Each structure stands twice: as structure tokens, then as C-alpha cells.
């Protein structure tokens, strides 16, 4: 990490810290040092089910240009490994997430940053790349080394090019989907070995600031854990005259009510993370904690201690929410004990507002030959209908029969206005199905398609084939009507959690929902059979050939039986006497 | 990179000869390849074995960039684990060998015989990242640790394939011909482990196994809360032995051969030193398990006018 500037943390940190950096950072070129900025924040939202949702975001903004032949060699806040990945593979946008658990929308509401179970990677390449598939393969290998994950299993059999669902989240006018690649690994496990390199990318590491709370023994003992890295170019001002690169590292975790064993609706930083906070990251220009108190602004339902007078309002997820703010760059936040342990206690929970968009998916049917995939999408808005884009990527060994595709809402046929289907090719590419469906208000829309299971070659089975094979989550993206007017000015100073998805209109906001992944059993052979067949065949051949050989070549000879003991002694005496034997 | 080292002042009389002696010492860097080959929750102990060797090796100075760790299944974040993100080696959850700072290079389905042999011989596809490569040279001391289920002449990988002792011996010979190691210590903790080193024929190899041909290696103790056996006996006593070693320790290989006698291990550990050119008593434990850099402090300039010939 870069050397710490010599400033006490009680000062209001400014964005031009690089002017006071230690003198040994000598810059030879005449180009002035590009400005970089680091912000960290933690949002805590108590959920109606009694669980608690904590979302960390660490953002580094850097005004530099990785493209057009500029060789960037001096890195300060931006991690060098990711900077080299961007310039070597001509990446325009990179989004990678590792998730353990499934986000339960009906119990927990909408997450700030959705992610599917397992690993998900989608990348927009620059239009200067000539061989996108080759670059994609090398990129996945390099990322598997950086994040200690098996991303090298991403190949053409699980990569798709969505045509409409994954538009760039940063600036960019290239929308040719030949430069987009999307892949998921639903089986990928997330554990401390993925968290360790993720933490090492932060400017302060896990030694100062909010990242000291990230202890793996508590983070993985939770209902949901997701860590992600998002890299994209953003505008610095309204006219977009200067652009900078934004790196966001996000970590979402939902702690279960009953895991600590108490069952009371009382949470503290120490109970969640087994740590308290003592200081902000000295390299951060802003370090804040937000607690969502929208459901109870008067303090009757729940209380937060130590109390704070700082309040902030933000438009997030189509709603105006109120937050208590703790500014860690102010020394008074830590009080006389020099440590901050927030305590949140709430008394009762009323019914939650139903989320507007919600989806489920399951496999129907019986046996190991055929089946049917059902995807259900719920629109819970009382009077507005809105369109959704459904993206389905099914592996080639589930052979979809697209002529059996049906989309029904409220019992009637609902024809999608846009369908993009790419059929699979055995062992080369998966199925890709994208549809734009209009969901009527207050309804359930069901999409069904039948499939047949394929028999794989015996070397293609995993070492544990009886576990089943995973089908990645479906992605449902849509612009959902919002209750309040959303803010379309993306360059205004906003909390990080409300500025992730760009907002183009005031009356709606962007939402992405992931369904469950499917676990499907394929017809599995008995793997001991090759051994059995070899034994049986060898036995049959040995017995058959041996018998035939004996029949053809065996000849019989007459042999005198050996005489008894008395006769043998008599013969010896007769030989000595010279008399012929008996 | 670890900077621990043993320091010794040069005698001021004959600096030129001391410099020659300094450059003629054996190895300059250390690598470790630690492999667990078993899948499924009831083989928890094999992952705990590998992680305890990983922990010792890291503690004695070998950095993550020089360790290739291969775990065939995930036990720490397994849904059956009552304490997620932990792997314990002692019952009553005394020692968490998984820790907070671990980097697994090959995991899950990536741990195959082919990948293991490719790592050893260096024949990997060009896009393989550095953390997955064994970038050793002819002055590297390598520690190779294998654990899992094995038999007479083979070691089983992930319940679906196996590696034979002939393949392993040939891989080491490839490594020797490509000058990929200076000295190699091979430790194996499986049933009938001694059969795996019977076929070695390359120089500078030393091998240890937890049991002889015809014997089974046994597991140590179960933990009732976790529900499985936590460690194998040989590696358990090896871990206890290594916990007493610190980077400046002078313990040598003869002490390592005495780890886990038959009274503790029930099986008879074996070792093979006939291919090792030095005397095992002169090889320190930290030559393989640690990353001790030789640092000599001198007050005067030494002119190296003629090439120094190394005495190897």
C-alpha cells in the first residue's frame, strides 16, 4: 500500500492528499500526477425478518488513461494487479462477483447490489480487440490466479453474448454485443481463500478503516455472503469532458437472527463482526456508516446507540430512505473510549412492503429423460405494468425444445415482443434465450420450456456426478416504476450505495433479479462397469482360449504309477544283487 | 519475501575464500507443493493434514507466492461444517489451521493427476497465472507433501483416478533433467505410503512415508462436534514436531525420521535416503520447511575477480 500521508485523522480529509505524499515518490515525467480518490462506506439495514443486512462499498476513482498506448507505471490507491489486467486485455468494463447463499427477496426485500449464487463474470471489451474469445479465455485464467477461484473452467460451453440484458453500466457508446461476454459458475465455492486476495486489493488492506471488520469466521457464518469487484469508466462532470476509472469493491452480508444463539432483535458491530472500529482508513477521503432508520424516524420502534444527529436522505431502490450517519473521519465519533461499537435494538416488526418484482424457477417432471423448466415472475404493483428482459443460459446437455416454449400471464397467452434465441451446439456452446415480456399489474407470468437430458461421455462426468449438474440462474432486468422521483444527475455527490446503477429517467429505476440455480440429475452410468467388464472379458477369454489351446495341443502319455514303499526297498535290494526289478 | 536469515561476520583475514564458501552453499530459494487428493466430507482429515503443513511452512518463512496449495474439496465453507471458515486439527477446536490468510491455488475439480504432473514438470498452458506455477530453478529446495487414500503403488485422486509410483518417479526424473530442483523432500501420508517412493531413481531425493507396504495409516482422533476424524496420526505428530521448530532452529533430518514411532502411529513410518547425496544429519529441517536466506555481513569490499566454483 502507498505510504501514509503525515496528517492526523481528525482533520476533514480532502481529496488532494497526493500533494502531501512522502517525498520518495519521485515522478520523472512531466505529466502531472493523475488524481485519485478513495471512499469507503458501510450501510446497515435491519430487515423485517429479524436478520440484519450489512453492505460494504469501497470505491477508488482514478483519472488516468489505461488505453491508447499509455504505459501506467505508478500506482497508488488503485491496485496494480487490476490495472495491468485492464490495460493488457483492453477491458472497458469488468464485473465479477462471488456469492454464497441465495438472496431471499420475499423476506429481505431488494439488495443494493444483486448477485447470483456462485461466481458471475461479465466483461465489455474495447472495440480495438480483434480476437474477443481468445482474450476472454486469457482474462479468465488471469482472474482465477488473482482471486484464487476456479474461473479457468469458464470456456465456450458456459459463455454467452447477451444481446440486450447487460448494457454497460459506465460510459460507453459502443453497444455492439460482440464485445460482451457473460458467464456464471453456479458450483463455485466462496471461502476465505477468495476473501484474502480481495482484501489485499484495498488501499489500507484489512488493517485500518472499515475493512478491519471483515473477519472470515463471522462473514461466512451467515445466510448470505457476496463479494464483488466492479470496474468501469465514469464521467467526472456533467458535460463528461474528463473521464476517470472507477473501481468498486462491494461486500454484502446478511446475518441470521438465530445464529448467535440469542434470538433477540439486538445487533451490534461486535456481535456481527467480532470487532469494533477505532479509526478510518487514512487514505480515504470519506469514511461513513449509514444506518437505515426509515421505518422508524421517531425512535419508537428501534434505537441506535451511540446516538448521532447526522441524518441523510437518499433515493435508493425507488424509495426515499432516511439514514443515521456516522462519519469516521471525525474523531468525536469514536468518543472517549476511542472505539465505535454501534448498537441497534428494535422492538417489533410490522409487515414489509412486498417487493415489486420477484422471480422463482424450478424443474418439473420425473425420471431421467425429460423435464420442464418453469420460471415464474411476479409483478406486485397494483396498477402499473412494466416490461422485463429475461435471460436464460442453459448448458448444452439439457436439450431445450423451444417449440414447447409458452409464456402465460393470468392464464392467457402473453407473447413476448422481442425474442433472441441462440441454439446450443453439443460441447461447444450453451442455449441462450432472451425475451422481453410485458408483465401485467398484480400478476404472475409463467415461462415453461421442455427439455431432454443428454448422456455424456464417461470422461466428461465430474468426480461426484451423483450430486447433480447445475444450471445457472436466470437474470431478469427491468426498469421498475418508482414511488419517488429518482435523481438523474450521476455526478452529484451521493452515497455510494445509491449511485451504482445509472439512472436515466426520473420515474423508474433499474432493477436486476436473479432466480435460484437449478440442480439437475443426468443419467449417470455405473463407473465400476469398465473394471467389471475387463475382469469378465479377461476371464471368458482365458477360459475359452485356454480350453481350445488344450484341446488342440494336449497329448496324453502313459506313466507308470510310482510303487509303494515296500516295493521300492525291495527294488533297491534287487538292484544291488543285480536281479531285474519287480 | 521472507528476510529471516542467519548472519555471521566474516573473519577479516581471508575474505576471498569465505566468499567462495558462501557461494558454494546448497540452495537459494524454497518451494512447497502441498496436495490433498480426497473429496467428500468424511475425508476432512486429509484437508486438515495439508493445511497444517501449509501453516508450518508459512510460519517458517516460505511466502504464498512460493507455495502451490492444492485442495480437492472445500471443508471450511462446507455446509456440513458447524463452524464455517475453520478447519481444526486438534479436538475441542484448539487450533484452526485454516486461519485468516490462506491462498489455495488449485481447488475442487482442478486437482487432477494431469494438473499435478504439469505443475511438477512445468509444462503448463501459457495463460496459467504465476500463482499456479512452480517456478523453481536448479538452486531450489522443494518440499512435496501428498495425502489422501492410497494403496500398493498408487495414490487415489478424487475417487476417480490414480497416480502410480512409476509416473511419480518419472516426473521427478523430468524435473532433474530440466534442473528444476536442487534437493527434494517428498513426504506422503497414505496407506502403504512407502510403496510410492520405491521406484525413485533421480539423485538428491529424500522421501518419508507414514506406513510401510502392507500397513494402513490410521487417523488420530474424532471431534464429536464436527463429527469426523480431524487428522491422521503421522501428520498430527509431524505438526507437533514442527510447532517446536523456529526459523533459526538447527534440528536436522534425523530428528524428522524419529517423528511418530510405532507406539504412537501404529504403523511404521519409513524413509529413504540412499539417493540423497548429503548426509541427512547435515540437512536442516529449515532447508525444506523454511525459507532461510543466508545473509553475511562484511565491513569491507570483496573483489570477485575469478569465477567461484561451487562444490556440489
| Model ipTM value | 0.87
In this complex, which of A141, A215, A463 lies closest to B128 when CB atoms are compared? A141
Contact between residue A302 and residue A346 where contact means Cβ atoms under 8 Å apart? yes
Q: Each residue of A384-403: pLDDT tens digit?
A: 999 999 999 999 999 999 99
β-strands A243-255, A302-305: how paired?
unpaired
Across chain B, what does the average pLDDT equal? Answer: 88
With bands split at pLDDT 50, 70 and 90, how would you rate the model's confidence at B3?
A: very low
For residue B177, the SS3 value is: helix
β partners of residue B142: B31, B184
CA A495, CA A313: separation in Å to the nearest integer? 10
B103/A148 CB distance under 8 A: yes
Q: How many CB pairs under 8 A join A and B?
A: 83
Window from A205-219, A311-325, B102-116 with minimum mean pLDDT = A311-325
Whether the Cβ atoms of residue B190 and residue B147 lie closer than 8 Å to each other:
yes
Distances B182 to B209, B249, B271 between C-alpha atoms, Å: 21, 21, 19
- Sort residue B260 into left (φ over 0), alpha (ψ -120 to 50) or beta: left
Q: Per residue in B205-246, pLDDT tens?
A: 999 999 999 888 888 888 888 899 999 999 999 999 999 999
In this predicted structure, the answer to whether residue B10 has a pLDDT above a threshold of 60 is no
Distance (Å) from the C-alpha of residue A85 to the closest C-alpha of chain B?
Answer: 12
* Residues of chain A neighbouring B38 (CB-CB closer than 8 A): none
CA distance A464 to chain B (A): 8
Radius of gyration of chain A (CA): 33
- What letter does residue B287 receive in the DSSP assignment? H
Q: How confident is the model at residue A507 (pLDDT cuts 50, 70, 90)?
A: confident
Beta bridge partners of A410: none
Q: What are phi and psi of B197, to 5 degrees?
A: -105, 5
Average confidence (pLDDT) over A246-261: 86
Contacts with A354 (C-beta within 8 Å, 6 or more apart), sequence order? A106, A380
User: Catalytic residue at B149?
Assistant: yes
Label residue B2 exposed, middle or buried (CB < 10 Å: 0-12, 13-18, 19+): middle
DSSP state of B195: G
* Contact check, Cβ <8 Å, B110/A150: yes
Q: Rounded to whole angstroms, what are the CA distances from A41 to A44, A55, A284, A291, B167?
A: 10, 8, 10, 11, 54
Question: pLDDT digit string (tens) for B67-126?
Answer: 999 999 999 999 999 999 999 998 888 889 998 899 999 999 999 999 999 999 999 999
Helix (H, G, I), strand (E, B) or coil at B47: helix
- % of chain A residues with pLDDT over 90: 55
Q: Please check whether residue B47 is in contact with residue B87, taking contact to mean a CB–CB distance below 8 angstroms.
A: yes
Interface check for B63 against chain A (CB to CB < 8 A): the answer is no
| Strand A91-100, strand A224-235: pairing | antiparallel
pLDDT at A226 over 70: yes
Question: What's the rounded mean pLDDT across residues A301-312?
Answer: 80
Residues of A in contact with B149 (CB under 8 A): none
- Given B27, B46, B66, B191, the catalytic residue: B191
Interface test with B, best of A98, A99, A141, A148 (most B CBs within 10 A): A148
- CB pair distance less than 8 Å for A219 and B85: yes
Residues on chain B touching A190 (C-beta within 8 angstroms): 77
**H-only helix segments in A258-337:** 269-273
So what's the pLDDT on residue A181?
96
DSSP β-ladder status, B183-189 and B205-209: parallel
Cβ distance A100 to B77 less than 8 Å, yes or no, reads: yes
Averaged pLDDT for residues B154-175: 94
Residue B64 has pLDDT above 50, yes or no: yes
Q: How far is B133 from chain A (nearest CA, A)?
A: 10
Backbone φ, ψ for residue B121 (5° rounding)? -85, -10
B271 is a catalytic site residue: no
Residue positions counted in chain B? 312
| Residue of B199, B201, B206 lying closest to B184 (CA atoms) | B206
B201 Cβ under 8 Å from any chain A Cβ: no
Whether the pLDDT of residue A25 is over 60: the answer is: no
Q: Cβ–Cβ of A192/B127 closer than 8 Å?
A: no
Q: How far apart are CA A2 and CA A76, in angstroms?
A: 6
Residues B146/B90, Cβ–Cβ less than 8 Å: no
Q: How far apart are CA A57 and CA A246, in angstroms?
A: 12
Which pLDDT does position A339 carry in this prediction?
A: 84
Choice between A42 and B310, residue whose per-residue pLDDT is larger: A42
Question: What band does B23 get if pLDDT is binned at 50, 70 and 90?
Answer: low
Residues of A in contact with B104 (CB under 8 A): 148, 193
Question: In this structure, are residues A432 and A161 in contact, taking their beta carbons and an 8 Å threshold?
Answer: yes
pLDDT digits (tens, 9 = 90+) for A61-98: 998 877 766 677 788 899 999 999 999 999 999 999 99
Tell me what pLDDT residue A350 has.
Answer: 67
Query: With an 8 Å Cβ cutoff, is B77 touching chain A?
Result: yes
Report the candidate in A180, A167, A38, A96 with the shortest Cα–Cα distance to residue A501. A167
Q: Distance between CA B186 and CA B256 in Å, rounded?
A: 12
Q: What is the mean pLDDT of residues A206-211?
A: 91
Name every chain A residue with its beta carbon within 8 A of the beta carbon of B40: 464
Integer Cα distance of B228 and B226 in angstroms = 6
What is the reported pLDDT for A133?
95
**Distance in angstroms (rounded) separating the CA atoms of residues A487 and A502:** 10
Q: Residue B34: phi, psi to the nearest 5?
A: -115, 125
Low-confidence winner among A307-321, A337-351, B138-152, B262-276 (lowest mean pLDDT): A337-351
Q: Report percent pLDDT > 70 for chain B.
A: 89
Q: Shortest CB distance from A189 goes to which of B77, B102, B103?
A: B77
Average pLDDT over residues B14-40: 78
Find the residue in B nearest to A200 (Cα): B101
Q: The C-alpha cell of B179 is what?
A: 534442473
Distance, in angstroms, between B17 CA and closest chain A CA? 39
SS3 content of chain B, % helix, strand, coil (to 5): 30, 20, 50
Task: Output the DSSP codes for A457-523.
Answer: PTTSS-S-GGG-EEEPPPEEEEEEE-SSPPP--TTS---GGGSSS----SSEEEEEEE-PPEEEPPP
Task: Transcribe A262-274 into DSSP letters.
Answer: --SSEEEHHHHHS
User: Residue B88: its chain A contacts at CB < 8 A?
Assistant: none
pTM of the full predicted structure?
0.86
Name which of A137, A190, A196 is nearest B102 (Cβ-Cβ): A196
Positive or negative, the CA dihedral A449, A455, A457, A461 is: positive
For residue A259, is pLDDT > 90?
no
Q: How far lies B276's CA from each of B183, B188, B281, B290, in Å?
A: 8, 17, 11, 19
Task: Give the sign of the dihedral formed by CA A390, CA A391, CA A393, CA A399.
Answer: positive
Would the CB atoms of A148 and B105 count as touching at under 8 Å? yes
Minimal Cα–Cα distance from A144 to chain B, Å? Answer: 8
Q: Are A300 and A85 a contacting pair, CB within 8 Å?
A: no
Q: Which residues are bridge partners to B70 per DSSP?
A: B35, B106
Average pLDDT of the segment spanning A518-540: 92
Average pLDDT over residues B34-60: 95
pLDDT in tens, A434-472: 999 999 999 999 999 999 999 999 889 999 899 999 999
Are the CB atoms for B206 and B273 separated by under 8 Å? yes
pLDDT in tens, A406-435: 999 998 999 999 999 999 999 999 999 999
Best of B50, B97, B110, B129 to disrupt the A interface (most A CBs within 10 Å) is B129
- A contact set with B (CB within 8 A): 100, 137-138, 141-142, 144-146, 148-150, 152-153, 187, 189-193, 196-197, 215-217, 219-221, 462-464, 527
Contact between B185 and B31 under an 8 Å Cβ cutoff? The reply is no
Q: Which residue has the higher pLDDT, A13 or A341?
A: A341
Complete edge-to-edge strand list for the sheet that includes strand B154-157: B150-151, B154-157, B161-164
Residue labelled with grid coordinates 436486476? A512
Select the residue from A216, A224, A227 to test the B interface by mutation, using most B Cβ atoms within 10 A.
A216
User: Distance from B94 to chain A by nearest Cα, in Å?
Assistant: 15
pLDDT at B149 over 90: yes
B132 and B105 Cβ atoms separated by less than 8 Å? yes
DSSP code for B221: -
Q: Which residues of B touch A191 (CB under 8 A)?
A: 74, 76-77, 85
Task: Average the pLDDT over each of A174-178, B14-18, B100-104, B190-194 and give the range with the smallest value.
Answer: B14-18
Please, are residues A254 and A104 in contact by the beta-carbon 8 Å criterion? Answer: no
Amino acid at each position: 500500500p502507498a505510504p501514509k500521508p503525515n496528517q492526523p485523522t481528525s482533520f476533514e480529509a480532502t481529496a488532494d492528499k497526493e500533494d502531501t505524499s512522502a517525498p520518495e515518490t519521485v515522478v520523472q515525467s512531466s505529466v502531472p500526477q493523475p488524481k485519485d480518490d478513495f471512499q469507503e462506506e458501510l450501510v446497515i439495514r435491519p430487515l423485517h425478518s429479524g436478520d440484519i443486512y450489512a453492505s460494504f462499498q469501497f470505491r477508488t476513482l482514478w483519472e488516468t488513461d489505461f488505453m491508447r498506448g499509455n504505459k501506467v507505471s505508478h500506482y497508488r490507491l488503485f491496485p496494480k494487479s487490476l490495472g495491468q489486467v485492464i490495460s493488457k486485455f483492453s477491458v472497458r468494463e469488468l464485473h465479477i462477483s462471488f456469492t454464497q447463499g441465495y438472496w431471499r427477496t420475499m423476506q429481505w426485500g431488494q439488495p443494493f447490489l444483486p448477485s447470483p449464487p456462485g461466481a458471475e463474470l461479465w466483461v465489455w471489451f474495447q472495440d480495438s480487440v480483434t480476437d474477443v474469445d481468445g482474450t476472454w479465455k486469457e482474462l479468465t485464467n488471469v482472474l482465477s490466479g488473482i482471486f484464487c477461484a476456479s474461473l479457468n473452467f469458464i470456456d465456450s460451453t458456459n459463455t454467452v453474448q447477451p444481446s440486450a440484458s447487460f448494457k454497460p453500466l459506465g460510459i460507453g457508446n459502443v453497444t455492439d454485443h460482440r464485445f460482451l461476454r457473460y458467464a456464471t459458475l453456479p458450483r463455485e465455492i466462496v471461502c476465505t481463500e477468495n476473501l484474502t486476495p480481495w482484501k489485499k486489493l484495498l488501499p489500507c488492506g484489512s488493517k485500518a478503516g472499515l475493512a478491519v471488520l471483515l473477519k472470515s469466521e463471522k462473514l461466512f457464518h451467515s445466510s448470505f455472503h457476496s463479494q464483488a469487484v466492479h470496474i468501469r469508466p465514469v464521467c467526472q462532470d456533467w458535460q463528461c469532458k474528463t473521464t476517470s476509472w472507477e473501481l468498486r469493491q462491494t461486500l454484502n452480508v446478511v446475518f441470521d437472527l438465530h445464529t448467535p444463539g440469542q434470538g433477540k432483535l439486538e445487533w451490534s458491530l461486535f456481535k456481527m463482526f467480532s470487532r469494533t472500529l477505532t479509526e478510518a482508513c487514512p487514505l480515504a477521503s470519506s469514511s461513513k456508516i449509514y444506518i437505515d432508520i426509515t421505518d422508524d424516524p421517531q425512535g419508537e420502534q428501534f434505537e441506535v446507540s451511540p446516538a448521532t444527529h447526522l441524518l441523510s436522505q437518499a433515493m435508493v431502490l425507488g424509495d426515499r430512505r432516511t439514514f443515521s450517519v456516522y462519519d469516521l473521519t471525525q474523531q468525536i465519533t469514536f468518543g472517549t473510549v476511542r472505539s465505535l461499537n454501534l448498537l441497534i435494538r428494535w422492538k417489533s416488526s410490522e409487515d414489509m412492503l412486498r417487493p415489486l418484482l420477484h422471480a422463482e424457477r424450478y424443474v418439473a417432471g420425473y425420471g431421467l429423460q425429460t423435464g420442464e423448466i418453469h420460471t415464474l415472475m411476479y409483478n406486485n404493483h397494483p396498477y402499473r405494468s412494466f416490461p422485463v428482459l429475461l435471460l436464460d443460459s442453459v448448458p448444452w446437455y439439457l436439450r431445450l425444445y423451444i417449440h414447447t416454449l409458452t409464456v402465460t400471464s393470468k392464464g392467457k397467452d402473453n407473447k413476448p415482443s422481442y425474442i433472441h434465441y441462440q441454439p446450443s451446439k453439443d460441447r461447444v456452446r450453451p442455449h441462450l434465450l432472451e425475451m422481453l415480456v410485458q408483465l401485467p399489474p398484480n400478476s404472475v407470468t409463467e415461462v415453461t420450456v421442455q427439455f431432454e437430458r443428454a448422456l455424456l461421455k464417461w470422461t466428461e462426468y465430474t468426480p461426484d456426478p451423483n450430486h447433480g449438474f447445475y444450471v445457472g440462474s436466470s437474470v431478469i432486468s427491468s426498469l421498475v416504476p418508482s414511488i419517488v422521483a429518482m435523481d438523474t444527475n450521476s455526478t452529484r455527490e451521493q452515497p455510494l450505495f445509491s449511485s451504482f446503477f445509472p439512472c436515466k429517467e426520473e420515474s423508474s429505476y433499474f432493477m436486476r433479479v436473479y432466480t435460484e440455480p437449478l440442480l439437475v440429475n443426468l443419467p449417470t452410468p455405473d463407473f465400476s462397469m469398465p473394471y467389471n467388464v475387463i475382469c469378465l472379458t479377461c476371464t471368458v477369454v482365458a477360459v475359452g482360449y485356454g480350453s481350445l489351446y488344450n484341446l488342440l495341443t494336449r497329448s496324453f502319455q502313459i506313466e507308470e504309477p510310482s510303487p509303494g514303499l515296500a516295493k521300492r526297498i525291495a527294488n533297491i535290494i534287487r538292484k544291488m544283487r543285480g536281479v531285474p526289478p519287480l | 519475501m521472507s528476510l529471516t536469515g542467519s548472519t555471521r561476520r566474516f573473519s577479516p583475514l581471508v575474505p576471498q575464500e569465505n566468499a567462495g564458501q558462501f557461494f558454494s552453499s546448497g540452495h537459494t530459494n524454497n518451494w512447497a507443493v502441498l496436495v490433498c487428493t480426497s473429496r467428500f466430507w468424511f475425508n476432512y482429515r486429509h484437508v486438515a493434514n495439508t493445511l497444517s503443513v501449509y501453516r508450518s511452512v508459512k510460519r517458517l518463512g516460505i511466502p504464498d507466492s512460493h507455495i502451490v496449495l492444492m485442495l480437492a474439496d472445500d471443508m471450511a465453507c462446507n455446509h456440513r461444517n458447524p463452524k464455517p471458515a475453520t478447519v481444526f486439527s486438534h479436538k475441542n477446536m484448539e487450533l484452526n489451521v485454516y486461519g485468516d490468510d490462506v491462498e489455495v491455488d488449485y481447488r475442487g475439480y482442478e486437482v487432477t493427476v494431469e494438473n499435478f504432473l504439469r505443475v511438477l514438470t512445468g509444462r503448463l498452458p501459457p495463460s496459467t497465472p504465476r500463482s499456479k506455477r512452480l517456478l523453481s530453478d536448479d538452486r531450489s529446495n522443494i518440499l512435496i507433501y501428498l495425502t489422501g487414500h492410497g494403496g500398493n503403488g498408487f495414490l487415489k485422486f478424487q475417487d476417480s483416478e490414480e497416480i502410480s509410483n512409476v509416473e511419480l518417479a518419472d516426473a521427478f526424473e523430468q524435473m532433474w533433467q530440466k534442473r528444476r530442483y536442487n534437493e527434494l523432500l517428498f513426504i506422503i501420508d497414505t496407506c502403504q505410503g512407502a510403496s510410492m517412493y520405491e521406484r525413485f531413481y533421480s539423485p538428491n531425493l529424500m522421501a518419508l512415508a507414514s506406513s510401510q507396504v502392507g500397513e494402513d495409516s490410521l487417523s488420530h482422533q474424532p471431534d464429536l462436534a464436527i463429527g469426523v476424524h480431524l487428522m491422521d496420526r503421522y501428520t498430527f505428530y509431524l505438526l507437533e514436531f514442527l510447532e517446536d521448530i523456529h526459523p533459526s532452529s538447527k534440528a536436522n533430518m534425523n530428528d524428522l525420521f524419529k517423528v511418530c514411532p510405532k507406539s504412537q502411529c501404529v504403523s511404521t513410518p519409513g524413509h529413504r535416503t540412499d539417493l540423497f547425496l548429503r548426509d541427512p544429519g547435515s540437512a536442516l529441517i529449515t532447508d525444506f520447511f523454511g525459507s532461510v536466506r543466508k545473509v553475511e555481513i562484511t565491513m569491507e569490499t570483496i573483489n570477485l575477480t575469478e569465477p567461484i566454483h561451487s562444490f556440489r
